[in-house]
Chain A
Amino acid sequence: MIRFAIHAAFGVAIGSALAAQGGGKSFAVRADIVHTMAGRAIEDGIVIVRDGKITAVGKAATIRLPAGIEQKRAKVLVPGLIDAHATVGLTGHLNIPHDQDQLDSTGPVQPELRAIDAYNAHDPLVNWLRSFGITTVHTGHAPRALVAGQTMVVKTHGRSVEKDVLRPFAMIACTLGDAGRAGRGDTGGKKPGTRAKSAAMLREALLAARAYAKKCDGDDAAPVELRHEAFAAALRREVPLLVTAHRAHDLMTTLRIAKEFELDVVLDGAAEAYLLLDEIKASKCTVLPHPAMARTRGELGNATMELPKLLVDAGIPIALQSGFESYVPKSRVVLFEAGVAVSKGLADERALAALTIGAARLLGVADRIGSLEVGKDADLAWFDGDPFEYTTNCLGVMIDGVEYPGERPLHTGR
């Protein structure tokens, strides 16, 4: 019980912070096309929000506007977009040691590192992403350690993690393959030097957590071991492992370990997933394909910009991500990645679903966000054209009823 309480207490604090915020003002956005992601798109539709929630959605002609309501006009209105995997807020925009908190290199297995303790809500890249309509990100510890740490789901208000977080502990970020053995078998024997060693260390850590959970069961006096707590949550299937792996054999190792421990896993990156469509489909895993514009180097040498399309064609659930970048762009913009995926065959409606309701379901927040439905959070983004088009602009953004600017003329993220 104590162990649950660690996260539950945090969640309560957040809930009250949000309730205190918001304001009673009504606000409406009318657009030529409203993609509600709950049923068909509405032509000449309107969405009305009040107190941070959506209060009406429908044809503009059929919805009566409250007197004096502020109204925005746009070509296209969509639910606030969701980046299903980023490192923004941990990988600061300056890319200098004191703003890079995505990876601690003192040990290869650190599932106890919480994203909430590392997220800088005021990093300019949070605002930058928001200016393109991205209102929620799944962010946290980055790839490049066997177990880098935890991730969380947070809105892009850019206020504080307490105010903005939706799920403080969403997944545990793991990496297999070359990147997962970065550091290459230090002489202390702490870091894995080979793929086989990586898998062995991950299995040992999971076994240790399983033994810990058994020992603690019914014994509230047992000393808390944060590392085992995190993995125990994964073993209880409260959180999935987010496993970054690109090569086909590393993807198979991921599925093998998931099966052994009856874990939920989300396959991240998965550059060679097109070689394993049947196996991945049978595993029922969701795949977060690497950004369409990811550089085709190293383990991504066999990457294809068609991956999202190939996965969807095979009936595999996907969500889209900006991923991790060590240099530039310090944060990719998931809307741009989706645009390129669309240009390489991913159907528009599948891409939009992967950026909204699909991602919300994967992240366990579909009761709050991901579609334009009465009672859901007032998270909106409106555009002057097709959101996937290179030359379209995001005109405005709303999160929990708070309006933010879209792409500004100078467009420097400040």
Chain B
Amino acid sequence: MSSLLGRNLRRVFGGLASALIVSGTVVPAQDEAIAFVGARILPVDGPVIENGTLVVRGGKIIAVGPASEVLLPAPSERRDCKGKTIIPGLVDTHSHIGSVSGGDRSGPIQPEVRALDAINPRDPGIQKAQAGGITTVNVMPGSGHLLSGQTIYLKLREPRTIDDLLIAGTDGQPMGGIKMANGTNPQKGPPFPGTRGRAAALMRAQLHRARHYQKKVAAAAGDPAKMPERSLGMEALVEVLEGKRMVHHHTHRQDDILTVLRLQREFGFRVVLHHVSEGWLVAEEIAAAKAPCSVIMIDSPGGKLEAARLSMATGRILDEAGVLVGFHSDDGITDSRLFLRSAALAVRAGMKRDKALAALTSAGAVMLDMADRVGTLTVGKDADLVVLSGDPFAVRTQVLETWVEGQKVFDLADPKDRLLAMGGYNASVDQSLSLCCYGQYGVAGQGVQAAGGAK
């Protein structure tokens, strides 16, 4: 136990130090603990705690257990959560919030492009995601390229600038993966591939070039004179080859899924398979490759040929085959505010409830290499949590509060937040505007309050 504590403490301080490097701002240390008392707690790393207490301080979880066993530290703010349910903050492994963009039309493979440089932190999608209980999110460029750029992992703190959202990795750099895609989305006119064979050939050729670059860098052994000419794209791909940067791979059809796994075997990168509409047809192969799957839940099959055999049972079938299963919103394909619903639909199609909740939390944390920080309500992990009015998979359950690192970022009782949660006038404009002038629904004949009331 003591060594575990020590490791967690180092992680806390290590995390703070690197946060300094990335963001320049650090959440002020909270001396006062916050205790969520009397809730039904679903910690994900263990059994349900019916009458539980969760205590957070300094942005971390410092205690969780039955209310009768957890002593409240002094000083602490006591929040009565009787009748409410607390779950870990949700991890959305694939989203397009923040009006993110990636590569342009100039070519099919653009690893030098970073989502980091394209996100508008005042995009209402970010606050809508908070309203859905999402606390950690992988924001990705689209799937219209074989490789559309570097993705960025964000903590949904209250943002002024993108820096406020970044997550520092062990190297102090902002964490993120790389987005690849196959199937029909990246197929178009030259220089994009016209066929699946061409798509795979282009990607393999690029990875061979990256391998060559990697060898040249290694051979230089730190001698600047021997280093190859610097290439931003190659640097990113070397991170992929070295397993430092996870490949997040859009893929729908069963043969496209197998093509990803074939490339993965050849080049040894780490991969999360995304969407996997036909994953249920190749569950054994996916399990054998130990490739985690981030599944999309769409309300009907089709919309395009490769999603025509989409099944609501994909999550269940992959889980039963031994695959690590997560879900994603793909916002705006589905709405971040209804992210719990994705897992609930999987339960509808037979997935075990505990696996479905893990898919929204701990599994996503693994896919984003953040299992040591987020995804479960475990002492030492970030104080990312969601307070619900009831069962996470019940249609009438509301997200009441969302907390990131011990800070409340969403509160349904706050009219500003409620506007984002439900929608309404000015709920979809940049929050730099709407937060100054939200007004509940205008009264008929009177119109909505004019903008301007500073807030």
Q: Which residues of the other chain, A, contact B222 by a CB distance below 8 angstroms?
A: none
Interface residues of B in 423-455 (CB under 8 A from A): 423-429, 441-442, 444-445, 447-448
* B residues in contact with A414, CB < 8 Å: 309
Instruction: Let me know if A279 is at the binding interface, CB within 8 A.
Output: yes
User: Within 8 Å of chain B (Cβ to Cβ): is A278?
Assistant: yes
* Given known A-B contacts A275-B444, A344-B422, A393 and B348 have beta carbons under 8 A apart: yes
Rounded to whole angstroms, the CA-CA distance of A89 and B198 in the bound complex is 35
Query: Contacts A95-B304, A275-B448, A301-B429 hold; do A343 and B396 have CB atoms under 8 A apart?
Result: yes
* In the complex, A64 has a CB within 8 A of chain B: no
A397 at the interface (CB under 8 A from B): no
State which of B68-76, B103-111, B331-339 sits at the interface with chain A: B331-339
Find out whether the CB atom of A124 lies under 8 angstroms from the CB atom of B301.
Answer: yes
Asked whether A297 lies within 8 Å of B348 as measured between CB atoms, the reply is: no
Q: Which residues of B contact A304 (CB under 8 A)?
A: 422-424, 427, 441
Given A275-B444, A302-B425: A410 and B311 interface contact (C-beta under 8 Å)? yes
Residues of chain A contacted by B67 (CB below 8 angstroms): none
Cβ of A339: which chain B residues have Cβ within 8 Å of it? 395
Q: Which residues of A sit under 8 angstroms from B442, Cβ to Cβ?
A: 275
Instruction: Check: A4 CB closer than 8 A to any chain B CB.
Output: no
The chain B residue with its CB closest to the CB of A279 is B444
Instruction: Name the contact of A409 in the complex, choosing from B313, B429, B445 (C-beta under 8 A).
Output: B313
> Provided the pairs A343-B396, A391-B393, A411-B313 are in contact, do residues A333 and B335 lie with their beta carbons within 8 angstroms?
no
Pick from A301, A331, A344: contact of B428, CB under 8 Å? A301
Closest CB in chain A relative to B439 CB, distance in Å = 11
* Distance (whole angstroms) from the CB of A311 to the closest CB of chain B: 12
Known: A93-B303, A302-B427, A310-B441. A410 touches B344 (CB 8 A): no
> Among the listed stretches A135-143, A155-163, A191-199, A322-330, which one makes contact with chain B, having 4 or more residues with CB under 8 Å of it?
A322-330
Kindly identify which residue among B332, B345, B397 contacts A295, using a CB–CB cutoff of 8 Å.
B332
Is A412 in contact with B301, judged by CB distance below 8 angstroms?
A: yes
Known: A330-B302, A391-B344, A409-B313. A296 touches B428 (CB 8 A): yes
Contact B304 A94 (CB under 8 A): yes
Q: Is the CB of A343 within 8 A of B398?
A: yes
What 1/0 flags go to A287-314 for Cβ under 8 Å of B? 0000001011100011111100010000
A125 touches B348 (CB 8 A): no
Q: A328-B298, A328-B307 are in contact. Are A302 and B423 (CB under 8 A)?
A: yes
Chain A residue with minimal CB distance to B302?
A93
Query: Chain B contacts of A344 at CB under 8 A?
Result: 422
Contact across chains for A275 and B425 when beta carbons are under 8 A apart: yes
Among B300, B304, B311, B338, point to the contact of A340 (Cβ < 8 A): B338
Q: Which residues of A contact B338 (CB under 8 A)?
A: 293, 340
Q: How large is the interface on A (under 10, 10 to 19, 20 to 34, 35 or more residues)?
A: 35 or more
- Residue among B299, B303, B341, B393 making CB contact with A327, cutoff 8 Å: B303
B298-340 interface with A by 8 A CB criterion: 298-305, 307-313, 332-335, 338
Q: How far is the CA of A332 from the CA of B300 in the complex (A)?
A: 7
Minimum C-beta distance from A98 to chain B (A): 12
Instruction: Name which residue of chain A comes closest to B441, CB basis.
Output: A274
Evaluate contact between A390 and B313: CB separation under 8 angstroms: no
In the complex, chain B residues 35-68 whose Cβ is within 8 Å of any chain A Cβ: none
Return chain A residues, CB-CB under 8 Å to B310: 412
Pairwise interchain contact A93-B444, C-beta atoms closer than 8 A: no
What is the size, in residues, of chain B's interface with A at 8 Å between Cβ atoms? 48
Q: Does B403 contact A (CB under 8 A)?
A: no
Do residues B309 and A412 form an inter-chain contact, with CB atoms below 8 A? yes
B309 to A, closest residue via Cβ: A412
Q: How far is the CA of A301 from the CA of B424 in the complex (A)?
A: 8
Neighbouring B residues of A310 by C-beta, 8 Å: 441
Instruction: Give Cα distance in the complex from A331 to B349, angstroms.
Output: 19
A95, A328, A330, A332: most-surrounded residue (chain B CB, <10 A): A328
Cβ of A41 within 8 Å of any chain B Cβ, yes or no, is no
B269 contacts across to A, CB distance below 8 A:
none
Contact, CB under 8 Å: B423 / A303: yes
Within 8 Å by CB of A93, from B301, B394, B396, lies B301
Inter-subunit contact A96/B311 (CB<8 Å)? no
Which of B334, B394, B425, B445 has the largest count of A CB atoms less than 10 A from its CB? Answer: B425
Residue of A nearest to B419 (CB): A304
A107 on interface, CB distance cutoff 8 Å: no
Docked Cα-Cα span, A212 to B340, in Å, equals 55
In the A-B complex, list the 10 residue pairs whose CB atoms are closest, starting with the nearest: A93-B302, A328-B303, A304-B423, A390-B344, A301-B428, A329-B299, A278-B444, A329-B300, A330-B303, A304-B424
A residues contacting B by CB (< 8 A) are: 92-96, 124-125, 128-129, 272, 274-279, 293, 295-297, 301-306, 310, 325, 327-333, 336, 339-340, 342-344, 388-393, 407, 409-414
Binding site for A on B (CB under 8 A): 280, 298-305, 307-313, 332-335, 338, 341, 344-345, 347-350, 393-398, 422-429, 441-442, 444-445, 447-448
20 example contacts (A-B, Cβ-Cβ < 8 A) are as follows: A93-B302, A93-B308, A96-B304, A124-B308, A125-B301, A275-B442, A278-B445, A297-B428, A302-B424, A327-B304, A328-B298, A329-B299, A330-B303, A340-B395, A343-B395, A407-B348, A410-B280, A411-B311, A412-B301, A412-B310
A94-B302, A293-B299, A329-B298 known; 11 new pairs, CB 8 Å cut-off, are A95-B303, A296-B335, A296-B423, A297-B332, A301-B427, A302-B427, A305-B422, A328-B307, A343-B397, A343-B398, A344-B422
